[in-house]
Amino acid sequence: MERADLHRILRSAPTEDERVAWFGALLARESGLNERLVIVGGSALEIYLTSSRHVSQAIDIVGEKPPIVSVSRR
């Protein structure tokens, strides 16, 4: 996926919570990790708690490092 496509897709997310979820789904698909990739912490908590008070917007990614790094560099 090209950077412009990623930005276009993420900008179209209706909410910040969905943007984080979409980012995780796209990263899992592009890296081939699918069920072996987990987004934790920061905004990922908002996906489950739907808290509008959470301000971090930071996320942590748990998964196999080589495919994640490869996709992130692209």
Quick check: 35 pLDDT over 80?
no
Indicate the pairing of strand 60-62 with strand 38-40. antiparallel
Q: What is the pLDDT of residues 4-23, one digit of tens each?
A: 998 999 999 998 888 888 98
CA-based R_g, the chain, Å: 12
Quick check: 28 pLDDT over 70?
yes
**C-beta contacts of 44-50 below 8 A and 24+ residues apart:** 44/20, 46/16, 46/17, 46/20, 47/17, 47/20, 47/21, 50/17
Give the residue carrying structure tokens 């909410």: 15
Please report the pLDDT score of residue 42 as a whole number.
56
Query: How many residues would you count in the chain?
Result: 74
* pTM of the entire predicted model: 0.65
